[in-house]
Amino acid sequence: MLVVEDHPELRDFLTAALGRDHRVVAARDGVEGLAAARARPPDLVVTDIMMPRMGGAELVAALRSTPPLIDVPIIVLTARADDDLRVELLRQGVNDYVMKPVTLQELRARAARLVAMKRAGDVLRQALAGARLDLVGLARELARRNRELDTALETAHAARDAANEAARAKDALLSMVSHELRTPLTTIGLQVERLLRLPEVGPKERQALMKVAGAGARLTGLVASLLDYVRVEAGRLRVELAPLDAAALVQDVVDELRPQAERKGLTLASDGAAPGPFVSDARLLRTILVNLVENAIKYTERGEVTVVLGREADGALRLQVRDTGVGIAPAEQGRVFEPFEQLEAPRAKHTPGIGLGLALVRQLVRALGGTVALESTPGAGSTFTLTVPEAAPAAAAARGDAAPRASEG
């Protein structure tokens, strides 16, 4: 089996998931995938659509024009916004597709079904090519294979329904909890502000009220993260494209968060030349940058946090958030983008947060058609690099929305 996916984390996830039942070879893009398929034709190809050098559509066309690979089954990983492309790929010879986020049970069941079909076809071709054709035995084999396919299909349907129900229940719970918390937090914040304005409030009382205000602001931020994540998971995130001033946006975020950095004795600054006009979603870019900078401040005890702005050769916007913090071990770097994952044990935890900031960043970056990468060395700080192309994907621009899911590509 061949897995073709450019995102390292999703590629590793797919390889591990499908590796339970099959021998899996992984490739980073269509060029590597086509070379691997030609070297050793697989029983199944699982490929993403959006990839550098050679995307999924080009890979499908190349496979279907290569005689030894014409009959190899193909599963395409796709998002909700790819409806037209998905139909076109089915016309070109794609056998099946799996919606992102990828559900492990559904993917394994669909893969098993197509591999079984491929092997049944191989059995038929070998039997027809032989000098002696045992039609009775062949019919029995095909009947057995058909029963296996029916069982696999029913398993896939059951897994899909269970996953959809679990997703709906989770989204409903998070949304209800978030909304129920936001109202009393707003009331607490307003009452604290009113008390702080009273002249009879003494220094000790004022200090206590400031602690309450800080705790309330922290909880409000956590609730906001939950609501944003629920919207992304439910596919209700809107991508609104418009020209923006990236340099002004960066400076605005830096100015807003500088007091937070200064309270820890840190320097927060921006660097890089103004990249000129850029078309994207300013609200989503701001949310991404705020989360990255707040994360850097949270895990940096001394030194500085720097936001570096630039443009790639192809016109894409490049944003880097560098810190001199504790750094992240290589074995842990893949976990930081997963929802509710935290590197500190809950009982030893001393930094605030529930582990949604970077997961939200990855989802919003994908909604804009971009990528986010991490480079980090323990004790030497971390650098998060965000690359966003000019304007969102065409489908998102046409529909005015996007539906990135948690394990999407």
CB 7 within 8 A of CB 409: yes
Tokens of 193: 């502000």
- Give the tens place of pLDDT for each residue, 265-310: 999 999 877 667 889 988 889 889 988 998 899 889 999 999 999 9
Q: How high is the pLDDT of residue 188?
A: 83
Q: Give the Cα separation of 264 and 297 in Å (integer).
A: 8
Q: Quick one: DSSP state of residue 330?
A: G
Q: In the predicted model, is pLDDT for residue 100 greater than 50?
A: yes
Q: What is the pLDDT of residues 225-269, one digit of tens each?
A: 666 666 666 666 778 888 988 999 999 889 988 888 998 899 999
Number of other residues whose CB lies within 10 A of the CB of residue 13? 18
As a whole number, mean pLDDT of residues 105-128 equals: 79
CA 399 to chain centre: 20
CA distances from 338 to 12, 30, 78, 272, 348 (A): 14, 26, 20, 30, 20
Place of tokens 């919207």: 231
pLDDT confidence band for 408 (50 / 70 / 90): very low
* Alpha-carbon torsion (294, 299, 300, 301), positive or negative: positive
Strand partners, 26: 3
CA angle centred on 177, ends 174 and 178, rounded to 5°: 80
8 A C-beta contact, residue 61 and residue 94: no
- In terms of Cα–Cα distance, which of 62, 65, 60 is closest to 75? 60
Which pLDDT score, from 0 to 100, does residue 401 have?
41
Tokens of residue 395, six digits: 């489908």
Contact 45, 63 (CB under 8 A): yes
| 135: confidence class by pLDDT, cuts 50, 70, 90 | low
Question: Could you tell me the pLDDT band of residue 395, with boundaries at 50, 70 and 90?
Answer: very low
Count CB atoms within 10 A of the CB of residue 403: 21
Kindly report the number of other CB atoms within 10 A of residue 198's CB atom.
10
**Structural contact between residues 260 and 293, judged by C-beta atoms closer than 8 angstroms:** no
Interatomic CA distance for residues 275 and 180, integer angstroms: 42
Q: State how far the Cα of 284 lies from the Cα of 218, in Å rounded to an integer.
A: 21
> Is 52 exposed, middle or buried, given 0-12, 13-18 or 19+ CB atoms closer than 10 A?
exposed
Residue 21 has pLDDT above 90, yes or no: no
Average confidence (pLDDT) over 378-406: 63
| 8 A C-beta contact, residue 337 and residue 408 | no
What is the crossing angle of helices 30-39 and 56-64, to 10°? 30
What pLDDT sits at residue 235?
64
Q: What is the mean pLDDT of residues 192-204?
A: 84
Cα–Cα distance, 305 to 321 (Å, whole number): 7
Per DSSP, the three-state class of 309 is strand
How many C-beta atoms lie closer than 10 Å to residue 355's C-beta? 16
Q: Which tokens in the block code for residue 201? A: 């409030």
Say how many C-beta atoms besides its own lie within 10 A of residue 323's C-beta. Answer: 25
- pLDDT above 50 for 384: yes
Q: Which tokens sit at 335?
A: 């976990």
